[in-house]
Structure 1
Protein backbone atom coordinates (compact mmCIF):
# COMPACT_ATOMS: atom_id res chain seq x y z
CA UNK A 1 0.00 0.00 0.00
CA UNK A 2 1.28 3.48 -0.86
CA UNK A 3 1.29 6.19 1.72
CA UNK A 4 1.05 9.92 1.04
CA UNK A 5 4.78 10.54 1.49
CA UNK A 6 5.68 8.75 -1.76
CA UNK A 7 3.48 11.05 -3.85
CA UNK A 8 4.77 14.23 -2.25
CA UNK A 9 8.40 13.21 -2.79
CA UNK A 10 7.67 12.48 -6.48
CA UNK A 11 6.11 15.89 -7.21
CA UNK A 12 9.13 18.08 -6.35
CA UNK A 13 11.39 15.77 -8.35
CA UNK A 14 9.21 16.23 -11.46
CA UNK A 15 9.20 19.97 -10.80
CA UNK A 16 13.00 20.11 -10.63
CA UNK A 17 13.41 18.07 -13.83
CA UNK A 18 10.80 20.18 -15.60
CA UNK A 19 12.43 23.42 -14.46
CA UNK A 20 15.84 22.16 -15.53
CA UNK A 21 14.56 21.16 -18.96
CA UNK A 22 12.80 24.52 -19.35
CA UNK A 23 15.99 26.38 -18.42
CA UNK A 24 18.09 24.35 -20.88
CA UNK A 25 15.59 25.02 -23.69
CA UNK A 26 15.62 28.76 -22.85
CA UNK A 27 19.42 28.87 -23.01
CA UNK A 28 19.34 26.94 -26.32
CA UNK A 29 16.74 29.29 -27.84
CA UNK A 30 18.60 32.36 -26.57
CA UNK A 31 21.80 31.13 -28.22
CA UNK A 32 19.98 30.55 -31.51
CA UNK A 33 18.43 34.03 -31.28
CA UNK A 34 21.86 35.60 -30.81
CA UNK A 35 23.25 33.70 -33.83
CA UNK A 36 20.38 34.61 -36.17
CA UNK A 37 21.79 37.84 -37.69
CA UNK A 38 25.23 36.34 -38.41
CA UNK A 39 24.39 34.42 -41.59
CA UNK A 40 27.88 34.29 -43.05
CA UNK A 41 29.48 33.25 -39.75
CA UNK A 42 26.89 30.53 -39.16
CA UNK A 43 27.48 29.02 -42.58
CA UNK A 44 31.27 29.22 -42.24
CA UNK A 45 30.99 27.32 -38.96
CA UNK A 46 28.75 24.69 -40.56
CA UNK A 47 31.11 24.27 -43.52
CA UNK A 48 34.01 23.80 -41.09
CA UNK A 49 31.93 21.22 -39.22
CA UNK A 50 31.24 19.39 -42.50
CA UNK A 51 34.97 19.53 -43.32
CA UNK A 52 35.82 17.95 -39.95
CA UNK A 53 33.18 15.27 -40.60
CA UNK A 54 34.61 14.51 -44.05
CA UNK A 55 38.15 14.49 -42.67
CA UNK A 56 37.08 11.88 -40.10
CA UNK A 57 35.44 9.77 -42.83
CA UNK A 58 38.56 9.88 -45.00
CA UNK A 59 40.92 9.24 -42.07
CA UNK A 60 38.96 6.26 -40.69
CA UNK A 61 37.96 4.87 -44.12
CA UNK A 62 34.49 3.92 -42.98
CA UNK A 63 30.95 5.02 -42.16
CA UNK A 64 30.08 5.50 -45.84
CA UNK A 65 26.41 4.68 -45.22
CA UNK A 66 26.25 7.49 -42.64
CA UNK A 67 27.86 9.85 -45.14
CA UNK A 68 25.48 8.79 -47.89
CA UNK A 69 22.42 9.24 -45.65
CA UNK A 70 23.70 12.65 -44.57
CA UNK A 71 24.23 13.66 -48.20
CA UNK A 72 20.70 12.59 -49.18
CA UNK A 73 19.23 14.48 -46.23
CA UNK A 74 21.20 17.62 -47.11
CA UNK A 75 20.04 17.31 -50.73
CA UNK A 76 16.40 17.15 -49.58
CA UNK A 77 16.93 20.22 -47.39
CA UNK A 78 18.54 22.08 -50.29
CA UNK A 79 15.62 21.29 -52.60
CA UNK A 80 13.16 22.53 -49.96
CA UNK A 81 15.29 25.68 -49.65
CA UNK A 82 15.06 26.29 -53.42
CA UNK A 83 11.33 25.56 -53.69
CA UNK A 84 8.65 28.22 -53.16
CA UNK A 85 6.38 27.83 -50.15
CA UNK A 86 3.30 27.74 -52.33
CA UNK A 87 4.21 25.65 -55.35
CA UNK A 88 2.52 26.92 -58.53
CA UNK A 89 2.66 23.38 -59.95
CA UNK A 90 0.26 22.24 -57.22
CA UNK A 91 -2.23 25.07 -57.79
CA UNK A 92 -4.75 23.15 -59.89
CA UNK A 93 -7.71 25.53 -59.91
CA UNK A 94 -5.75 28.80 -59.78
CA UNK A 95 -8.77 30.70 -58.45
CA UNK A 96 -8.43 30.14 -54.74
CA UNK A 97 -6.53 32.71 -52.73
CA UNK A 98 -4.43 30.62 -50.35
CA UNK A 99 -1.83 33.33 -49.98
CA UNK A 100 1.07 34.69 -51.99
CA UNK A 101 2.05 32.83 -55.14
CA UNK A 102 4.60 33.31 -57.87
CA UNK A 103 3.48 35.18 -60.98
CA UNK A 104 3.23 32.90 -64.00
CA UNK A 105 2.80 35.63 -66.65
CA UNK A 106 4.66 38.90 -67.15
CA UNK A 107 1.40 40.85 -66.81
CA UNK A 108 0.81 39.58 -63.26
CA UNK A 109 1.77 41.47 -60.17
CA UNK A 110 5.19 40.79 -58.63
CA UNK A 111 5.04 38.70 -55.50
CA UNK A 112 8.10 38.03 -53.37
CA UNK A 113 9.72 34.63 -53.28
CA UNK A 114 8.90 32.86 -50.03
CA UNK A 115 10.89 29.70 -49.42
CA UNK A 116 9.40 26.41 -48.28
CA UNK A 117 12.37 26.08 -45.92
CA UNK A 118 13.73 29.43 -44.63
CA UNK A 119 17.49 29.99 -44.56
CA UNK A 120 17.80 29.82 -40.77
CA UNK A 121 15.91 26.53 -40.53
CA UNK A 122 17.97 25.20 -43.44
CA UNK A 123 21.19 26.10 -41.62
CA UNK A 124 19.95 24.69 -38.32
CA UNK A 125 18.88 21.38 -39.89
CA UNK A 126 22.18 21.01 -41.76
CA UNK A 127 24.16 21.75 -38.60
CA UNK A 128 22.14 19.40 -36.39
CA UNK A 129 22.27 16.56 -38.91
CA UNK A 130 26.02 16.99 -39.37
CA UNK A 131 26.56 16.81 -35.60
CA UNK A 132 24.38 13.68 -35.42
CA UNK A 133 26.28 12.15 -38.36
CA UNK A 134 29.59 12.99 -36.69
CA UNK A 135 28.43 11.31 -33.47
CA UNK A 136 27.37 8.24 -35.50
CA UNK A 137 30.98 7.84 -36.69
CA UNK A 138 31.92 6.88 -33.13
CA UNK A 139 29.51 3.93 -33.12
CA UNK A 140 30.86 0.81 -34.81
CA UNK A 141 27.37 -0.54 -35.54
CA UNK A 142 26.97 2.18 -38.21
CA UNK A 143 30.21 1.20 -39.93
CA UNK A 144 28.58 -1.12 -42.46
CA UNK A 145 31.04 -2.37 -45.09
CA UNK A 146 29.95 -1.17 -48.54
CA UNK A 147 31.61 -0.53 -51.89
CA UNK A 148 31.70 3.26 -51.58
CA UNK A 149 32.26 4.18 -55.28
CA UNK A 150 28.76 2.88 -56.05
CA UNK A 151 27.30 5.13 -53.36
CA UNK A 152 29.20 8.12 -54.74
CA UNK A 153 28.01 7.46 -58.31
CA UNK A 154 24.43 6.93 -57.15
CA UNK A 155 24.51 10.18 -55.15
CA UNK A 156 25.92 12.14 -58.11
CA UNK A 157 23.24 10.67 -60.39
CA UNK A 158 20.49 11.46 -57.87
CA UNK A 159 21.83 15.00 -57.41
CA UNK A 160 21.92 15.67 -61.17
CA UNK A 161 18.42 14.31 -61.77
CA UNK A 162 16.95 16.21 -58.83
CA UNK A 163 18.65 19.50 -59.74
CA UNK A 164 17.63 19.12 -63.40
CA UNK A 165 14.00 18.76 -62.30
CA UNK A 166 14.33 21.74 -59.95
CA UNK A 167 15.90 23.95 -62.63
CA UNK A 168 13.13 23.02 -65.08
CA UNK A 169 10.60 23.97 -62.40
CA UNK A 170 12.35 27.35 -61.92
CA UNK A 171 12.34 28.01 -65.67
CA UNK A 172 8.73 26.95 -66.14
CA UNK A 173 7.39 29.18 -63.36
CA UNK A 174 9.99 31.94 -63.86
CA UNK A 175 11.44 32.35 -60.41
CA UNK A 176 14.93 32.68 -59.06
CA UNK A 177 15.37 31.73 -55.40
CA UNK A 178 18.49 33.89 -54.98
CA UNK A 179 18.71 37.66 -55.05
CA UNK A 180 22.11 38.87 -56.18
CA UNK A 181 21.52 42.49 -57.08
CA UNK A 182 18.89 43.88 -54.79
CA UNK A 183 18.54 47.65 -55.20
CA UNK A 184 20.21 49.60 -52.42
CA UNK A 185 18.76 52.94 -51.51
CA UNK A 186 20.75 55.76 -50.02
CA UNK A 187 19.56 57.26 -46.80
CA UNK A 188 19.28 61.00 -46.58
CA UNK A 189 21.09 62.56 -43.65
CA UNK A 190 18.60 64.87 -41.89
CA UNK A 191 21.39 67.19 -40.72
CA UNK A 192 22.38 68.10 -44.30
CA UNK A 193 20.24 70.84 -45.79
CA UNK A 194 19.01 70.55 -49.35
CA UNK A 195 19.29 73.81 -51.35
Structure 2
Protein backbone atom coordinates (compact mmCIF):
# COMPACT_ATOMS: atom_id res chain seq x y z
CA UNK A 1 0.00 0.00 0.00
CA UNK A 2 1.45 3.37 -1.05
CA UNK A 3 1.10 6.53 0.96
CA UNK A 4 -0.05 9.70 -0.74
CA UNK A 5 3.36 11.37 -0.26
CA UNK A 6 5.30 8.49 -1.87
CA UNK A 7 5.64 8.63 -5.68
CA UNK A 8 4.71 5.54 -7.70
CA UNK A 9 8.24 5.22 -9.10
CA UNK A 10 9.78 4.10 -5.80
CA UNK A 11 7.76 0.89 -5.87
CA UNK A 12 9.07 0.10 -9.34
CA UNK A 13 12.61 0.97 -8.24
CA UNK A 14 12.27 -1.30 -5.21
CA UNK A 15 11.04 -4.18 -7.34
CA UNK A 16 13.83 -3.65 -9.85
CA UNK A 17 16.38 -3.60 -7.03
CA UNK A 18 14.90 -6.81 -5.61
CA UNK A 19 15.04 -8.51 -9.02
CA UNK A 20 18.68 -7.45 -9.46
CA UNK A 21 19.58 -8.88 -6.04
CA UNK A 22 17.87 -12.18 -6.88
CA UNK A 23 19.70 -12.32 -10.23
CA UNK A 24 23.04 -11.67 -8.50
CA UNK A 25 22.28 -14.37 -5.90
CA UNK A 26 21.58 -16.84 -8.70
CA UNK A 27 24.87 -15.96 -10.38
CA UNK A 28 26.72 -16.29 -7.05
CA UNK A 29 25.24 -19.75 -6.47
CA UNK A 30 26.20 -21.13 -9.90
CA UNK A 31 29.72 -19.65 -9.95
CA UNK A 32 31.58 -22.75 -8.68
CA UNK A 33 29.92 -25.13 -11.14
CA UNK A 34 32.10 -24.40 -14.18
CA UNK A 35 31.35 -27.58 -16.13
CA UNK A 36 27.58 -27.33 -15.58
CA UNK A 37 27.57 -23.66 -16.58
CA UNK A 38 29.32 -24.43 -19.87
CA UNK A 39 27.13 -27.47 -20.53
CA UNK A 40 24.08 -25.26 -20.04
CA UNK A 41 25.48 -22.66 -22.43
CA UNK A 42 26.28 -25.38 -24.98
CA UNK A 43 22.68 -26.59 -24.67
CA UNK A 44 21.45 -23.05 -25.21
CA UNK A 45 23.65 -22.77 -28.30
CA UNK A 46 22.26 -26.10 -29.56
CA UNK A 47 18.70 -24.83 -29.14
CA UNK A 48 19.68 -21.64 -30.97
CA UNK A 49 21.28 -23.66 -33.78
CA UNK A 50 18.24 -25.91 -34.11
CA UNK A 51 16.01 -22.84 -34.22
CA UNK A 52 18.09 -21.41 -37.09
CA UNK A 53 18.15 -24.71 -39.01
CA UNK A 54 14.46 -25.55 -38.64
CA UNK A 55 13.18 -22.01 -39.17
CA UNK A 56 15.42 -21.52 -42.23
CA UNK A 57 16.06 -17.88 -41.36
CA UNK A 58 17.71 -15.36 -39.09
CA UNK A 59 21.11 -15.97 -40.67
CA UNK A 60 22.23 -12.41 -39.94
CA UNK A 61 21.46 -12.94 -36.24
CA UNK A 62 23.41 -16.18 -36.32
CA UNK A 63 26.36 -14.52 -38.08
CA UNK A 64 26.44 -11.57 -35.67
CA UNK A 65 26.26 -13.98 -32.74
CA UNK A 66 29.13 -16.06 -34.12
CA UNK A 67 31.29 -12.94 -34.64
CA UNK A 68 30.59 -11.82 -31.07
CA UNK A 69 31.50 -15.26 -29.69
CA UNK A 70 34.71 -15.20 -31.76
CA UNK A 71 35.64 -11.83 -30.24
CA UNK A 72 34.98 -13.22 -26.76
CA UNK A 73 37.14 -16.26 -27.52
CA UNK A 74 40.01 -14.08 -28.71
CA UNK A 75 39.82 -11.93 -25.59
CA UNK A 76 39.79 -15.13 -23.51
CA UNK A 77 42.93 -16.43 -25.22
CA UNK A 78 44.90 -13.19 -25.00
CA UNK A 79 46.98 -12.15 -22.00
CA UNK A 80 45.83 -9.15 -20.01
CA UNK A 81 49.14 -7.40 -20.59
CA UNK A 82 50.17 -7.84 -24.22
CA UNK A 83 53.89 -8.72 -24.40
CA UNK A 84 54.23 -7.13 -27.86
CA UNK A 85 53.15 -3.77 -26.44
CA UNK A 86 55.55 -4.15 -23.51
CA UNK A 87 58.41 -4.89 -25.95
CA UNK A 88 57.53 -1.75 -27.92
CA UNK A 89 57.50 0.37 -24.75
CA UNK A 90 60.85 -1.05 -23.63
CA UNK A 91 62.38 -0.35 -27.06
CA UNK A 92 61.06 3.24 -26.96
CA UNK A 93 62.57 3.78 -23.49
CA UNK A 94 65.95 2.47 -24.59
CA UNK A 95 65.95 4.54 -27.79
CA UNK A 96 64.89 7.64 -25.86
CA UNK A 97 67.87 7.25 -23.55
CA UNK A 98 65.83 8.30 -20.57
CA UNK A 99 66.72 7.54 -16.99
CA UNK A 100 64.03 4.87 -16.88
CA UNK A 101 65.96 2.75 -19.36
CA UNK A 102 68.93 2.34 -17.02
CA UNK A 103 66.77 1.61 -13.97
CA UNK A 104 64.43 -0.87 -15.66
CA UNK A 105 64.29 -4.42 -14.42
CA UNK A 106 65.95 -7.19 -16.41
CA UNK A 107 63.82 -8.53 -19.23
CA UNK A 108 65.13 -12.10 -18.96
CA UNK A 109 62.54 -13.86 -16.76
CA UNK A 110 62.70 -17.49 -17.81
CA UNK A 111 63.25 -18.73 -14.25
CA UNK A 112 60.44 -16.65 -12.78
CA UNK A 113 56.91 -18.06 -12.51
CA UNK A 114 54.35 -15.74 -14.07
CA UNK A 115 50.79 -17.04 -14.12
CA UNK A 116 48.76 -16.46 -17.25
CA UNK A 117 46.30 -13.63 -16.60
CA UNK A 118 43.58 -13.46 -19.24
CA UNK A 119 42.23 -10.31 -20.79
CA UNK A 120 38.74 -11.77 -20.35
CA UNK A 121 38.32 -14.07 -17.31
CA UNK A 122 36.46 -17.36 -17.69
CA UNK A 123 33.47 -16.12 -15.65
CA UNK A 124 33.02 -13.01 -17.81
CA UNK A 125 33.47 -15.12 -20.96
CA UNK A 126 30.74 -17.52 -19.87
CA UNK A 127 28.38 -14.78 -18.70
CA UNK A 128 28.78 -12.72 -21.88
CA UNK A 129 28.40 -15.79 -24.12
CA UNK A 130 25.27 -16.92 -22.27
CA UNK A 131 23.67 -13.48 -22.32
CA UNK A 132 24.44 -13.12 -26.03
CA UNK A 133 22.98 -16.56 -26.74
CA UNK A 134 19.77 -15.75 -24.88
CA UNK A 135 19.48 -12.43 -26.72
CA UNK A 136 20.16 -14.09 -30.09
CA UNK A 137 17.54 -16.75 -29.36
CA UNK A 138 14.97 -14.08 -28.51
CA UNK A 139 15.85 -12.21 -31.71
CA UNK A 140 14.83 -15.28 -33.70
CA UNK A 141 11.24 -14.79 -32.52
CA UNK A 142 10.93 -11.42 -34.23
CA UNK A 143 10.45 -11.07 -37.97
CA UNK A 144 12.32 -7.74 -37.90
CA UNK A 145 15.63 -9.59 -37.62
CA UNK A 146 14.89 -12.12 -40.36
CA UNK A 147 16.72 -10.32 -43.16
CA UNK A 148 16.95 -12.37 -46.37
CA UNK A 149 20.56 -13.16 -47.20
CA UNK A 150 22.44 -15.87 -49.05
CA UNK A 151 23.74 -17.79 -46.03
CA UNK A 152 26.59 -19.81 -47.66
CA UNK A 153 28.50 -16.53 -48.18
CA UNK A 154 28.19 -15.74 -44.47
CA UNK A 155 29.37 -19.22 -43.51
CA UNK A 156 32.34 -18.99 -45.89
CA UNK A 157 33.27 -15.52 -44.67
CA UNK A 158 33.06 -16.59 -41.02
CA UNK A 159 35.23 -19.66 -41.66
CA UNK A 160 37.88 -17.52 -43.37
CA UNK A 161 37.71 -14.93 -40.60
CA UNK A 162 38.00 -17.63 -37.93
CA UNK A 163 40.97 -19.28 -39.63
CA UNK A 164 42.86 -16.02 -40.11
CA UNK A 165 42.28 -14.69 -36.59
CA UNK A 166 43.14 -18.00 -34.93
CA UNK A 167 46.28 -18.31 -37.07
CA UNK A 168 47.35 -14.84 -35.96
CA UNK A 169 46.56 -15.66 -32.32
CA UNK A 170 48.52 -18.93 -32.43
CA UNK A 171 51.49 -17.14 -34.01
CA UNK A 172 51.33 -14.56 -31.21
CA UNK A 173 51.25 -17.36 -28.62
CA UNK A 174 54.28 -19.04 -30.20
CA UNK A 175 56.25 -15.82 -30.54
CA UNK A 176 55.77 -14.76 -26.91
CA UNK A 177 55.81 -18.31 -25.50
CA UNK A 178 52.57 -18.42 -23.55
CA UNK A 179 49.86 -21.05 -23.31
CA UNK A 180 46.42 -19.87 -22.18
CA UNK A 181 45.41 -23.31 -20.85
CA UNK A 182 46.99 -25.32 -18.08
CA UNK A 183 44.95 -28.58 -18.19
CA UNK A 184 46.24 -29.67 -14.80
CA UNK A 185 49.86 -29.00 -15.69
CA UNK A 186 51.89 -28.59 -12.53
CA UNK A 187 54.47 -25.82 -12.49
CA UNK A 188 57.89 -26.99 -11.28
CA UNK A 189 60.49 -24.72 -9.85
CA UNK A 190 64.26 -25.14 -9.92
CA UNK A 191 66.21 -27.70 -11.92
CA UNK A 192 64.57 -30.84 -13.23
| Shared fold per TM-score greater than 0.5 | yes
Q: 147, 150, 153: which is aligned to 2:153?
A: 150
Structure 2-normalised TM-score?
0.83
RMSD of Structure 2 on Structure 1 (CA): 2.1
CA distance in 1, matches of 2:19, 2:28: 14
Secondary structure in 1 matching 2:71: helix
Q: Where do residues 31-180 of structure 1 align in structure 2 (5 Å cutoff)?
A: 31-91=26-86, 92-94=88-90, 105=108, 107=110, 109-180=112-183
Query: How much has 1:50 moved relative to structure 2?
Result: 0.3
Partner of 2:190: none
Secondary structure in 1 matching 2:74: helix
Secondary structure in 1 matching 2:80: coil
Query: How much has 1:30 moved relative to structure 2?
Result: 0.4
Residues 179, 10 of structure 1: alpha-carbon distance in 2 compared, 3 angstrom cutoff: farther
Query: How much has 1:10 moved relative to structure 2?
Result: 7.2
Name the count of aligned residue pairs. 171
Q: 10, 18, 24: which is aligned to 2:19?
A: 24
Secondary structure in 2 matching 1:41: helix
Secondary structure in 2 matching 1:12: coil
Partner of 1:12: 7
**Could you say which structure has the greater relative contact order, defined with CA pairs below 8 angstroms and 6 or more residues apart?**
2
Partner of 2:96: none
> Unmatched 5+ residue regions in structure 2?
94-99, 101-105, 188-192
Decide whether the 8 Å contact of 1:62 with 1:145 is kept in 2. yes
Query: How much has 1:13 moved relative to structure 2?
Result: 1.7
Partner of 1:190: none
Structure 1-normalised TM-score?
0.82
Deviation per CA, 1:124-164: give whole Å up to 9, x if none: 10000000000000111111111100000000000000000
